[in-house]
Amino acid sequence: MNRDKHSVVSEFVLLGLSNSWEIQIFLFCFSCLFYVSSVMANLIVVVTVTSDPYLHSPLYILLANLSIIDLIFCSIAAPKMICDIFRKQKVISFGGCVAQIFFSHAVGGTEMVLLIAMAFDRYVAICKPLHYLTIMNPRMCILILVAAWAIGLIHSLVQLAFVVNLPFCGPNVLDSFYCDIPQLIKLACTNTYKLEFMVTANSGFISLSAFFLLILSYIFILVILQKHSSGGSSKALSTLSAHITVVVLFFGPLIFFYVWPSPPTHLDKFLAIFDAIFTPFLNPIIYTFRNREMKIAIRRVFGSILFPLKNE
């Protein structure tokens, strides 16, 4: 039917974030700073966990895997956005656009499953401490990882199946700095009402339900912790609050994008930057660097360059 659709639109024009020179400079500095920091912070976590034998417990293995995912995630849209900030004409090829959608949904879906797995890990650690090592054994960790990537890939392929068959017949201006489905389907020369509904149902429903599942599990764990409150509970409480913070920061923007798809506003775009660069940076900070064992391990691995503070 739409045999030659790609010959009509072979690339998309991205409007980027702003034409104001001051805002561009600000965005450039801000994005570079947080992109580089994200990459560094997550690399530190991965290197520390893999090279420190004391950190080979399930929690840290999952955290290191989360950092790998964050490394990929922040490298999907941010580098191109940073290079494009000062360009007058920002374009992305059809294939590049599809690739951005594919990777961001695959990696985002994987991250969601991993966050749920980490809530489960905390549940077992706090509510069934005696069985922790038998339940969260190495095979379980591998199983979680395989399941997470499989679910992420399937989710992404399902999303793509809708997009690649859309007829694009002319309009090719995306009011954004990266490709995602809600903006892309608005350009298709067909009635996209059903499709928008599908996207909302798919990405929106998945992120909303994962979010509520996570919040409910953490409330459940907190309630149990309250009942058996003892000496160790303040440490558990601080770990849990760190996890809850990450969950809210990760899902907040997603739910905003997919559940209430509205005309793009500046808020939309700034939230997108937040999700693309800032959340991957916060994960290692919130989950790991506040953690005492982790700080000691980083010092062990990297010498005293990063944490020159003495005994703590």
Smallest gap from residue 232 Cβ to ligand NAG (A) = 25
Give the footprint of ligand NAG on this chain (CB under 6 A): 46, 49-50, 61, 64-65, 68, 141-142, 145
Q: How is residue 131 written in tokens?
A: 């069985």
- Closest CB 255 distance from ligand NAG, rounded Å: 27
Give 81 or 297: the residue with its C-beta nearer to ligand NAG: 297
Nearer Cβ to ligand NAG (49/107) = 49
Question: What is the number of other CB atoms lying within 10 angstroms of the CB of residue 101?
Answer: 21
Q: Nearest approach, Cβ of 62 to ligand NAG (angstroms)?
A: 7
Cβ-Cβ contacts under 8 Å for 47 (sequence gap 6 or more) = 301
Looking at beta carbons only, is 34 or 60 nearer to ligand NAG? 60
Q: Shortest gap between Cβ of 242 and ligand NAG (angstroms)? A: 19
Minimum Å gap between C-beta 137 and ligand NAG is 10
- The residue (of 44 and 64) whose beta carbon lies closer to ligand NAG is 64
Cβ proximity to ligand NAG: between 47 and 259 the closer is: 47
Residues 6+ apart with CB under 8 A from 35: 74, 78, 79, 82, 277
> Kind and range of the H or E element at 90?
strand 90-93
Q: Which CB atom, from 42 or from 203, has the smaller least distance to ligand NAG? A: 42
Residue 119 to residue 74: CA distance in whole angstroms: 23
Closest contact distance (angstroms) between CB of 301 and ligand NAG is 13
Query: Residue 74 or residue 141: which is nearer to ligand NAG going by CB?
Result: 141
Question: CA 175 to CA 13: how far, in whole Å?
Answer: 8
Work out how close the CB of 139 gets to ligand NAG at its nearest, in angstroms, rounded to a whole number: 9
Say how many Å lie between the first and final Cα of the chain, rounded: 68
Q: List, in sequence order, the alpha helices (H) in the chain.
A: 5-8, 21-51, 58-74, 78-84, 94-127, 132-135, 138-164, 181-185, 193-199, 205-227, 233-259, 266-273, 279-283, 292-302
> In the bound complex, what is the minimum distance in angstroms from residue 145's beta carbon to ligand NAG?
5
> Is the distance from CB of 269 to CB of 27 less than 8 angstroms?
no
Q: Which is nearer to ligand NAG, 99 or 140 (CB)?
A: 140
In terms of DSSP bridges, do strands 173-174 and 90-93 run parallel, antiparallel, or are they unpaired? unpaired
CA 219 – CA 233 distance, rounded (Å): 15
Q: How far is the CB of 100 from ligand NAG (least distance, A)?
A: 25
The C-alpha atoms of residue 308 and residue 303 are separated, in whole angstroms, by: 9
Taking the least distance from each CB to ligand NAG, the nearer of 45 and 184 is 45
Contact 173, 13 (CB under 8 A): yes
As a whole number of angstroms, the distance between CA 37 and CA 282 comes to 10
